[in-house]
Amino acid sequence: MSQPLLKVEDLQVTFDVRPRGAWPWTPSNQLHAVGGVSFELEKGETLGIVGESGSGKSTVARAIINTVPASGGRVLWKGEDLLQMGKTARRQHRQAAQMVFQDPLAALNPRMKVGEIIAEPLITHAPDTPKAEIKRRVGELMERVGLLPNLINRYPHEFSGGQCQRIGIARALILNPELVICDEPVSALDVSVQAQVINLLSELQRDLGLSLIFIAHDLSVVKHISDNILVMYLGRVMETADADTLIDNPIHPYTRSLVQAVPIPDPEVELHREHPVLEGDLPSPLSPPSGCVFRTRCPVAQASCAGDRPVMQQIAPGHVSYCPITAQERANETA
């Protein structure tokens, strides 16, 4: 069996946080942004990572491409550990894995023209590329993402949010990457524009054979583009499964709450169905709850949930939950 394109094993990211105004010798606190995330991504697949703000989704993405240092674990790219690579090998990997960011306008240099923005990665990684070739590739990519090539000399502020995101996608594709990490790429866009960008990403993935990691806090967006979905809460994995299984048969209480929050496009059904709301606020990652980090807001929490950290409970092949209570309930139902 061939190895996956990307394999993340027990990825951990912590930050030293010093209280504001503290003396230099004051001990720093540990902020646990990501605690033991694992998953695999095959070539041509899309992994959706979903969770509310503060769950560590973007930190996972940045740790994969090493813009945020990992504190532990392994990130295997075609079998090689990225975290152990030297600068030269890491630079080559940067060409193979690119990112599309959340705020399309803020991600673009306002002093650079669109053509310069798209061409910048190519000039950085392949400085000997002829100017004519650069111009040709920039024009092709602009057409590929739905922008007219005659807009090449305009500045980012002259474009709409959706157009700016298309520019960001073209910039990410200029180096012919194998993996594109989309960090909430549609959260700042109107609903109709969101659909256009998602359709564009799906089309590009199909035509170019890309692998995608699609990060969002909206499960209704993630389910339309993802093959598999990983649910995160406070830096931990709650559940993972293929997209259809996760939506139709959520096991973890947190996943259930996310699924129940997705609106149904039928006014009559939507009006009469229950809309449970999670009680309480997201705990601070500086002092996460013991045991299961979701227990302080979980509707089925028991005293045992404050003990050891939950371990993986396999519900079915490819479907994993980290809640032993609901996993046991499911086992009793099928027994």
Residue ranges making up the domain that contains 46: 6-19+27-334
> Per-residue pLDDT tens for 288-301?
899 999 999 998 88
**How far from 61 is each of 192, 207, 242, 273, 292, CA to CA, in Å?**
26, 24, 20, 35, 23
> Per-residue pLDDT tens for 29-59?
888 899 899 999 999 999 999 998 889 999 9
pLDDT for 115 equals 94
pLDDT for 1 equals 55
User: Is the residue at 99 inside a domain?
Assistant: yes
Q: Name residues whose C-beta falls within 8 Å of residue 31's C-beta, 6 or more positions apart in sequence.
A: 14, 15, 16, 17, 285, 286
CB 258 within 8 A of CB 50: yes
Structure confidence at residue 269 as a pLDDT band (50, 70, 90): low
Please report the DSSP string for 162-227 in residue order. Answer: HHHHHHHHHHHHTT--SEEEEESTTTTS-HHHHHHHHHHHHHHHHHHT-EEEEEES-HHHHHHH-S
The whole-angstrom separation of Cα 13 and Cα 234 is: 12
User: Is the residue at 1 inside a domain?
Assistant: no
pLDDT for 270 equals 63
What's the mean pLDDT in 264-281?
71
What domain count does the chain have?
1
The whole-angstrom separation of Cα 318 and Cα 315 is: 8
CATH code at 298?
Answer: 3.40.50.300
pLDDT for 66 equals 86
pLDDT for 322 equals 92
pTM for the full model?
0.91
224, pLDDT greater than 80: yes
> Could you tell me the two tokens for 230?
């990983």
